[in-house]
Structures are given as structure tokens and as C-alpha cells.
Amino acid sequence: MTALLEVDNVTLRFGGVVAVNKVSFSVEEGEVFALVGPNGAGKSTLFNLISRFYTPVEGDIRFEGRSILDRPSHEIARLGIARTFQNIELFDHATVLQNLLVGRHRHRRSRLWNELLFTPFVRQEERRHREAVEKVIDFLDLQAYRDKYIAGLPYGVRKVVEMGRALAIEPRLLLLDEPASGLSVEETQDVAFWVEDIKTQMGITVIMVEHDMHLVSAVSDRVLALADGKTVALGTPHEVQTHPKVIEAYIGAADPAERAVA
Amino acid sequence: MRTLFKTSYDADINLFRDGRHAMWYGLLLAIAIVLPFVLGDFELGEVAHVLIWAIAGMGLMILVGQTGQPSLGHASFLAVGCYANVILQNDYGVPFILSLPIAGLIAGLAGVAIALPTSRLHGIYLGIATLAVSVLTGDLIVIAEPVTKGVFGLYAPQITIFGITIDRYGNPDRFYWLILAVTVIVVLLYKNLLRSPLGRSFAAVRDSEVSARAMGVNIPRTKAVSFGLSAGITGIAGALMGHYTGIFNNETFNLIMSIQLLLMIVIGGLGSIHGAFFGAIVVALLPQAIVFVRDTVSAVAGTSSVAIPGMETAIFGIILVVFILFEPMGIYGRWVKIRTWFELFPFARRDMFRRQRSYLKTERMR
């Protein structure tokens, strides 16, 4: 089995700050891969590197065996990589339906002239896009919000809409940036089920940044722990959670001398 | 309140929601067509003026309302369209039926040419860049004096389509119908744009460039297309404006006009076709309204009519400030609120249109 995504020895610096420092990992087809680590560990930066918002100063990122570093960011969706954002980047002044339809942009086959004339071909295409989007709406239970504007929706629903928009791309690889942050316990459980279904029913590989360790252990096959831009541990959720270096990264050094003082 | 029962995806794709919706717009069009038989020549000219402004407004609306890129230089595209149309007819003998779309095309290309170097600029910076274009236009027209006749200006020729003469003063009814036809075509193109993938990618660029990119939208290209369409439609409005005023020179399409265009769509309501029309009514009829009020007041007061310099600009400014303070959604926004109130009567709530606070919005990845 070849890896779907390979991040090979990638480094990114912002001025003097090394945001990502020689990180390497590979994600197999059909797995749920989680990135964990304290704030500022470089998790979201890795997502932005894979989305090509940033260009690494060193190293290579390969999707299906081919380097994506020669691709501009707007071609990444066309390759089949979809993502969500930590702070929700939806199109606020559009409806849920329109937001999801933007996700279909990768599948656009009509051109400027026939869209302006709205030829029968464009109508046919619109029906096709709508059908694909309706599947996503059914999957995520968004029926009630179809024609609502994003600007008026509660936070939890926006989070789901953003996941839906990424699914409308029909990706092979889905990058979820903190899908459960700010969600209630019930909503987080929904996310867990959805991620499971995305993996098993849709066959989409998932990379997830998440702080909720319950969610991470519930759904992910492998976990990569990062701290200060460096790889700390890689393995099953249990292995990573009990790894001494991970514990150190989260709650500080287990120094016997300090303990004695306390 | 009526509930629409949708049975196919086409219900959301069609131009009209349902038969009743189509009927109202059909009625509006019918009234617009018979207007020359009802109104006098002067009033008809004013309506034509409103429609020309509405076309220009729709052009600018595509860029500002749909794509979120402010432009303070759209009078330049009016000028490009106007000059191209008249020069094509006078110097090259191109008939009006061809010179009008070609003028639109030339203005559109000018728009693309300005979009390409400015595609990385946002908000106020883009505004300043387009402002510079607007300032330059007058000078360029003077510099290109051999073609444009500089400060002496050009005269728009009489329009002939398939042997039918159309003259602004000679037969104002035909002139009005011509403009009405162009207006309807532009509205249809605009509506088609809104319901197609391109229109949605415009909205995506407007609301979040980062996620538009992540969805596979090519930002510079989309902005250039938006600029091109916007400038093209504005150019067509400019060509019609040339025929409407009859004579124009380097001072006709000045900076004030660019600002007026932008204010017009803000007052009308950003992001809607209705907004362009509402705004056009305000902008095109305001001078007449002021004259009317002034004459009435002086007649009642028995004083001689006094023109106050700067009156029009001041009233325009006051209207704009009032709208931005109390109704940022413009006249169209107010109209939607009133309509909803009646539709839901008596269940409308006051906070119905209040927006949810947007959470955690950061701009660090712009």
C-alpha cells in the first residue's frame, strides 16, 4: 500500500521562528490520522502547508506520490484535497446551499459564455451539482438550514456546514482543523460518528487536528504528537497519550527535584 | 404567508420562484413597455435616464456587491464605452447595433487590464488604485485629442437600426424602448450570473478569499473576470449615456460621477439587482426633485427662485449618511423588511434581521 500523502522532512520558518521543524509523516489511504499538540505546536501550519497557503523552506509534500509544491493553492482542491478552517471561513452572506455549491467548484465544467446565457447544459450541470450537495445535506442532517444565511446561524451549525462544504468537493483527502472545538458533548459525538462514516462509507482519508483527546482516541487510527514544530511521538492513540515526552510537552517536565519541592 | 412547495431542483434554478413571482415581473415589464403612451417626452427622457444609471449601477454592483471589490473609477469605464461607441460609428462607420456591444467589449478589456495589476489589493487600497484611474481618465482624453477631440468633445450621431431611426429628441419613445431592451438583457445576464457557478465564486471571493482558494477558486482570475464583466456593462451604459446627453468631452465622466455611482449602489442596497434600480432612481431624479421642491417653495413663499450652490451634493451626502447609520442594507434592505413584516403579519419580530455575531473571525491569513 502506498501512502496517500507524504510529508517529507518539511521545515517552515516565519522570520526567526521555526513553525515546523523537519516534520515527516505519511498518511495511508483510508485511515483517520490525528495531529495533536499544545497551542503553537505547528498543527494548523501543517494544514496550511498541505493546502499550499505556505511554501516550505525545506522538504517535500507528495500527494499520491507526486509533489504538490509546484501547484498553486487553488489547484489543491482539484487534486482532491479538501479542508476546513479552525476559525470557520464560510461565505457569510450566502445561504447554506450556496456555500455547499461553492464546494462543487472543482467539478465546474461550464464556461463564462454559457453561464451568462444559462444554456440547457448549465441547467443540467446545476441539477447534477445540486444532487451531489443534497447527498451531503442528508448525510449531515442540514435539511432545516438549506436556505438559511450563514450570518444568522449558530456556531455549531456553521461548523457542520463547513464540514459539508469540504465534503461537497468529493475529496480523497479531508483535512479537518479542530472539527469539535467549541461544540457541546452531543455535537462532538455527532462529529465522531460522521468522521467514522466519512472513513468507512465514503472511503475518504481524514487528517484531523483536534484537542479533544476523547474524540481523537475514539476515531483515529494513528496519532502524531507535535510540540514546538517538532515531532514528539507517532503511534496509536494509546501509545501517544502515554508517551512520556507527550505528557512532558503538555504538563511540563516530570523533574524529580521539582516534585520534591512540591 | 405562503409556503412554496418545491418538487424539483429546478424550482431553485429557475429565474422566478413561481407563477405569481413571474406575473409581477411580467406586469412590471408590460407597464415599462406602454410607458411612452402615458408619459410626456420630458418624463420619458427622465425614465430613460434612470434606466441608463441602473445599467451602470448593475455593472458596478457585479464588482462591488457581488465580488466585494470596491471601485472608485467606474466613470472611466463609462467614458471608455461612450467614446468607443461614438468613435466606432463616426470614424469607422460601424452601425450602432455592432458598435454598442463592441464598445462594451472594449470597456470590459480595459477593466481586465486594470484588474490584473491590482488583483492583490484589498479594500481601501483597491479603492485608491481605481481612484487614480478615474483621475487619469480626463487627462488621457485630452492627450488623445486627435481621436477624442479633447476639450471640444464629441457629438453622438443619430442611431439607425435596420433602417429605423432612433433619436433622443426626434423620437424619444423609440430611444426609450432601445434602452429598456438593453436593460432587460443586462438584467437577464446578471440573473444568469447569480445562479451559475461563476456568480457563486464571486460571492466566495467577497466573503472569504482564503476558503475560496481552498475550494479551488482561482482568485486573481475570478477578480479579473468580475472586473471585465463589470466594466463591460458599465461601458454599455456609458455608450447609451453618450447618446442620451448628445455631447460629451473630457469633463463629462469625472471623479464625482465615479463616486456617485458607488454611492448609488450603496443607497440602493449592495448585492441586489433591485438595489441598482432603487439607487438609480435616487441619483437620476434627485436633481429634478430638488428643482421641483425649490420652485414649489418659492411659489408658496412668494419669493423669487434662488439656486443654492452645492445643494444637490449636500442632500446626496445627507441621504448617504442617513442610510449608512440607519439602513446599511440600502433601500432594497428596507423593502425586504417591510415585505417580510406584511408576509408574516402579525408574527414579525423586531430582531428578525439582526445578524448573529460572527465568532473568532481573524484576518491573519489574508
Closest chain B C-alpha to A164 CA, distance in angstroms:
12
Residue A108: list chain B partners with CB under 8 A.
Answer: 197
Give dist(CA A79, CA A76) in Å, integer: 5
Q: Judge whether residue A261 has pLDDT over 80.
A: no
The grid coordinates of residue B271 equal: 448585492
Give dist(CA A74, CA A169) in Å, integer: 13
State the ipTM, two decimals.
0.87
Residue B208: list chain A partners with CB under 8 A.
Answer: 89-92
Residue B141: closest CA among B154, B133, B150, B153: B150
pLDDT digits (tens, 9 = 90+) for B140-154: 888 888 888 877 888
Inter-chain contact A94–B200, Cβ cutoff 8 Å? yes
Q: Once rounded to an integer, what is the mean pLDDT over residues A82-92?
A: 90
Q: Does residue A98 or residue B160 have the better pLDDT?
A: A98
Give dist(CA A31, CA B41) in Å, integer: 74
Q: Judge whether residue B357 has pLDDT over 50.
A: no
Classify domain A80-236 at the CATH topology level. Rossmann fold (3.40.50)
In a domain, B344, yes or no: no
* CATH class of the domain at A1-26+45-72: alpha beta
Residue B207: list chain A partners with CB under 8 A.
Answer: 90-94
Q: Of the ranges B212-226, B272-286, B349-363, which one carries the lowest mean pLDDT score? A: B349-363
Closest chain B C-alpha to A19 CA, distance in angstroms:
15
The grid coordinates of residue B60 equal: 458596478
Residue A74: list chain B partners with CB under 8 A.
Answer: 213, 216-219
Q: Judge whether residue A256 has pLDDT over 60.
A: no
Closest chain B C-alpha to A93 CA, distance in angstroms:
7
Give dist(CA B244, CA B45) in Å, integer: 8
Give dist(CA B249, CA B251) in Å, integer: 5
Residue B203: list chain A partners with CB under 8 A.
Answer: 91, 93-94, 98, 102
| pLDDT computed for residue B319 by the predictor | 86
Please classify residue A48 by burial: count the beta carbons closer than 10 Å to its beta carbon, then call 0-12 exposed, 13-18 middle and 19+ buried.
Answer: buried
Task: Mutate one of B185, B215, B219 to test the A interface: name it (highest A CB count within 10 A).
Answer: B215
Closest chain B C-alpha to A94 CA, distance in angstroms:
7
Task: Mutate one of A44, A73, A105 to test the B interface: name it (highest B CB count within 10 A).
Answer: A105
| pLDDT computed for residue B366 by the predictor | 42
pLDDT band, very low/low/confident/very high, at B360 (cuts 50, 70, 90):
very low
Average pLDDT, chain A: 89
| pLDDT computed for residue A257 by the predictor | 54
In a domain, B59, yes or no: yes
Secondary structure (3-state) at B351: helix
DSSP state of A29: T
pLDDT digits (tens, 9 = 90+) for B237-258: 999 999 999 888 888 888 888 9
- Residue A25's DSSP bridge partners are A7
| Structural domains in chain B (count) | 1
pLDDT digits (tens, 9 = 90+) for B82-121: 999 999 998 898 999 999 999 999 999 999 999 998 888 8
> Which helix (DSSP H) or strand (DSSP E) does residue A14 occupy?
strand A3-14
Residue A134: list chain B partners with CB under 8 A.
Answer: 9
List b or e across B277-290, with b for residues whose CB sees 16 or more CB atoms inside 10 angstroms: bbbbbbbbbeeeeb
pLDDT digits (tens, 9 = 90+) for B62-77: 999 899 898 998 999 9
Q: Judge whether residue B346 has pLDDT over 60.
A: yes
pLDDT digits (tens, 9 = 90+) for A64-84: 989 999 999 999 999 999 999
pLDDT band, very low/low/confident/very high, at B330 (cuts 50, 70, 90):
confident
Q: Judge whether residue B352 has pLDDT over 60.
A: yes
Give dist(CA B88, CA B95) in Å, integer: 8
Inter-chain contact A53–B212, Cβ cutoff 8 Å? no
pLDDT band, very low/low/confident/very high, at A1 (cuts 50, 70, 90):
low
Q: Once rounded to an integer, what is the mean pLDDT over residues B24-28?
A: 94
Q: Does residue A168 or residue B324 have the better pLDDT?
A: A168
| CB within 8 Å of A38: residues ≥ 6 apart | A227, A249, A250
Residue ranges per structural domain of chain A: 1-26+45-72, 80-236
| pLDDT computed for residue B64 by the predictor | 92
CA B56 to chain centre: 3
Q: Judge whether residue B284 has pLDDT over 70.
A: yes
Q: Residue B35's domain spans which residues? A: 20-255
Task: Mutate one of A52, A55, A118 to test the B interface: name it (highest B CB count within 10 A).
Answer: A118
Percent of chain B with pLDDT over 90: 42
Q: Judge whether residue B3 has pLDDT over 80.
A: no
DSSP state of A145: G
- Chain B residues contacting A via beta carbons under 8 Å: 9-10, 12-13, 189, 192-193, 195-201, 203-204, 206-208, 210-219, 225, 271, 355-356, 358-362, 365
Inter-chain contact B9–A83, Cβ cutoff 8 Å? no
Residue A153: list chain B partners with CB under 8 A.
Answer: 356
Give dist(CA B107, CA B330) in Å, integer: 28
Residue of B nearest to A149 (CA): B355
In a domain, B107, yes or no: yes
DSSP state of A143: G
Percent of chain B with pLDDT over 70: 93
Helices (H), chain B: 10-13, 19-38, 41-61, 74-92, 96-118, 123-143, 145-148, 172-194, 197-207, 209-214, 219-245, 255-268, 273-301, 311-326, 330-344
Of the candidates B198, B207, B212, which has its C-beta nearest A92's C-beta?
Answer: B207
Residue B166: closest CA among B89, B226, B279, B225: B89
Inter-chain contact B196–A169, Cβ cutoff 8 Å? no
Size of interface A-B (CB pairs under 8 A): 130
Inter-chain contact B218–A85, Cβ cutoff 8 Å? no
pLDDT band, very low/low/confident/very high, at B356 (cuts 50, 70, 90):
very low
Q: Once rounded to an integer, what is the mean pLDDT over residues B154-178?
A: 86
Closest chain A C-alpha to B256 CA, distance in angstroms:
30
Q: Judge whether residue A260 has pLDDT over 60.
A: no
| pLDDT computed for residue B304 by the predictor | 67
DSSP state of B163: T
Q: Does residue A226 or residue B361 have the better pLDDT?
A: A226
Task: Mutate one of B17, B196, B360, B365 to test the A interface: name it (highest A CB count within 10 A).
Answer: B196
Inter-chain contact B359–A182, Cβ cutoff 8 Å? yes
pLDDT digits (tens, 9 = 90+) for A171-208: 999 999 999 988 999 999 999 999 999 999 999 999 99
In a domain, B365, yes or no: no
Inter-chain contact B362–A103, Cβ cutoff 8 Å? no
Residue A112: list chain B partners with CB under 8 A.
Answer: 198, 225
| pLDDT computed for residue B254 by the predictor | 86
In a domain, B178, yes or no: yes
B70, B123 Cβ separation under 8 angstroms: yes
Closest chain A C-alpha to B257 CA, distance in angstroms:
28
Q: Judge whether residue B365 has pLDDT over 80.
A: no
Q: Judge whether residue A48 has pLDDT over 60.
A: yes
Q: Judge whether residue A165 has pLDDT over 70.
A: yes
Strands in A39-189 per DSSP E: 58-63, 66-67, 81-83, 173-177
Q: Judge whether residue B359 has pLDDT over 50.
A: no
| pLDDT computed for residue B222 by the predictor | 93
Q: Which long-range contacts (CB under 8 A, 24 or more apart) does A187-193 make?
A: A187/A156, A187/A159, A188/A212, A188/A214, A188/A215, A190/A160, A191/A163, A191/A215, A192/A218, A192/A219
Average pLDDT, chain B: 87
| pLDDT computed for residue B6 by the predictor | 83
Of the candidates A77, A106, A151, which has its C-beta nearest B356's C-beta?
Answer: A151
Q: What is the pTM of this model?
A: 0.88
Residue of B nearest to A165 (CA): B215
* Residue tagged 483515529 (cell numbers): A220
Q: Judge whether residue B355 has pLDDT over 60.
A: no
| pLDDT computed for residue A262 by the predictor | 44
The grid coordinates of residue B227 equal: 472586473
Give dist(CA B266, CA B243) in Å, integer: 27
